[in-house]
Homo-oligomer: A and B are copies of this chain.
Amino acid sequence: MPTNRQIVLAELPQGRLGPEHFRQTEAAVPSPEDGQVLVKTRYVSLDAANRAWMQGATYRSALQAGDVMAGGSLAEVVESGAAHLKPGDLVFADTGWQDYAALNAKRLAAIPKMEPLTHLLSVYGVAGLTAYFGLLECGKPKAGETVVVSAAAGSVGSIVGQIAKIKGCRTVGVAGGEAKCALLKTELGFDEAVDYKGGNLRQALRAACPGGIDVYFDNTGGDILEACLFGMNVHGRIACCGAVSQYDGAAPAHGPRGIPGLIVTKRLHLTGFIVSDFDDQRSQALADLQAWVASGELKVREDVIEGLENLPAALIGLLAGENIGKRMVKV
A residues apposed to B, CB below 8 Å: 52, 58-59, 218, 221, 225-226, 240-243, 246, 252-274, 277
Contact = CB atoms under 8 A, between A and B. Distances in A.
A269 B261 CA distance: 16
B272 A59 contact: no
Contacts of A246: 260-261
A264 B260 contact: no
29 contacts: A52-B261, A218-B260, A221-B259, A221-B260, A221-B261, A225-B259, A226-B255, A240-B263, A243-B260, A243-B264, A246-B260, A252-B258, A252-B261, A254-B256, A254-B257, A255-B256, A255-B257, A255-B258, A255-B259, A255-B260, A256-B259, A260-B272, A263-B272, A264-B272, A265-B274, A267-B273, A268-B270, A269-B269, A269-B270
Given A269-B270, A272-B266, A243 B261 contact: yes
A272 B277 contact: no
A270 B265 contact: no
Contacts of A252: 257-258, 261
Nearest to A246: B261
Contacts of A243: 260-261, 264
B59 A260 contact: no
Nearest to A269: B271
A259 B264 CA distance: 16
B273 A264 contact: yes
A188 B272 CA distance: 33
A268 B264 contact: no
A151 B59 CA distance: 31
A256 B261 CA distance: 11
A225 B260 contact: yes
Pairs A-B, 6 closest by C-beta atoms: A255-B255, A255-B259, A263-B272, A254-B254, A270-B270, A240-B260
Contacts of A273: 264, 267
